[in-house]
A = this chain, B = another copy of it.
Amino acid sequence: MEPNILTGSFQLMKSLNRSVILNTIRKKGGISRADIAKTTKLTPPTVSNLVKELLETEMIIETSLGVSSGGRKPTLLTLNSDMFHVIGLDIGSHHLKIILTDINGRIRKKQIHPIPDSITNEGLLDLMITSIYAIQKNEQIDRNKIIGIGIGMHGIVDVDQGVSVFAPNLKLKNIGIKDALEKEFQMVVQIENDARAMSLGELWFGNGHGDDSIVCINVGRGIGAGIIINGQVFRGEHYISGEIGHMAIDLNGPKCTCGNYGCLQTFASGPAIVESLKKELKLGESSILSNKENEIDGEVIYQAALAGDLLSKNILNKAGRYLGVGVTNLIHTVNPKRIVISGGVSNAKEFILESVKKTIEQRALTDSAKQTEVIISKFGADATVMGAIALILAQLFATPGNT
């Protein structure tokens, strides 16, 4: 069947305006009815009526009176952030991270649970359910004031069905997460690929407020990108948009786990960096890591580089240059306003970011493309779980018609 066509009706008109007002309050935070009318170009009575309704739902509250510039003092309105809460999960390769936030995304509680090796679908679902109960324990929070549960998950995710189709790092397939959690908790549940969740988190909580187009690149065990266009997560036809880890950049390069040669993640992922360094050590390069081959992981290399180890620095720089090639390809394809780099490898920002930028400067076609903003995520290891929160908030504050 055709999807429902969006037609104009009184309900649409009203819900659109209510949403516009709610979002204005969210963005400006502490704004009077009169100012809402000015910025939205709605008339004062319309604003007053809808604000009254929003006050009744307790989504917003009247706070202090503002300062007057000659006339009645404005009554300032803000989101009622103490009332409503959101739960976010980040399902990684070894750990499940869960947070509880208010609707401004301020973290109230954070917990981490290890994920046992060779876990089953049912085991993972059980772990998720118990962790969701656990984080609510001893919290003075009305259960039906929890708006929803957002989940960021690596691998391929069918957002509409709410299924983790393939989670390679856990070796699991077809986990029916949404159905299971909705049945258990009777609230909104939304699951999304980790890089895409991150990118939405970056849009909501990062510097990129608004309707921008941004790309968030998650560089860790693999490399994945989340693409935001006009403020909407872009998923592609089969939920594999942004799978840039397997972008071919050097057809004569090393063999990748996918079977092809020269994929981006054979150069710039965490494992690739470790391999690259080990190989140099075997070739006899001198380094402070020379006799510690078994202890080497990404963090160790980063610390060595910080301590001044030239080989470690060079290896990280090289990874940055390759990442820059991939990023430039993305700029020439998606041409976003801003690119945010996150994930484990982005920890080594001092040694990565500059070489990414230099590579873009060198390779990008036009001056404007060269000036594409490239930053490191400010959320560090919390990027995915904040993105999971953003999934629910994006839905809560969505404008009618913009699915």
Chain A interface (Cβ < 8 Å from any Cβ of B): 2, 4-10, 12-17, 20, 24, 39-42, 156, 166, 213, 225, 227, 229, 234-244, 246-253, 258, 260, 262, 325, 328-337, 362-363, 365-366, 368-369, 372, 399, 401
Contact = CB atoms under 8 A, between A and B. Distances in A.
Contact of A262 (B17, B24, B250, B399): B250
B251 A325 contact: yes
A7 B17 contact: yes
Contact of A366 (B40, B213, B238): B238
Contacts of A229: 229, 234
A366 B166 CA distance: 10
A20 B39 contact: no
Nearest to A8: B13
Nearest to A17: B8
Best-buried of A13, A166, A240, A242 by chain B (most CB within 10 Å)? A240
B248 A365 contact: no
Contacts of A372: 237-238
Instruction: State the number of copies, please.
Output: 2
11 contacts: A7-B16, A7-B41, A13-B13, A236-B334, A236-B335, A238-B335, A240-B332, A247-B332, A248-B250, A248-B325, A248-B328
Contacts of A24: 5
B333 A366 contact: no
A333 B334 contact: yes
A254 to B, nearest CB: 12
Contact of A333 (B6, B235, B241, B368): B241
Nearest to A15: B8
A242 B333 contact: yes
- Going nearest first, the 3 A-B pairs with the smallest beta carbon separation are A236-B335, A8-B13, A8-B16
A6 B42 CA distance: 10
Contact of A329 (B156, B248, B328, B365): B248
A372 B236 CA distance: 11
A196 B213 CA distance: 18
B369 A240 contact: yes
A366 B156 contact: yes
Nearest to A14: B8
A249 to B, nearest CB: 5
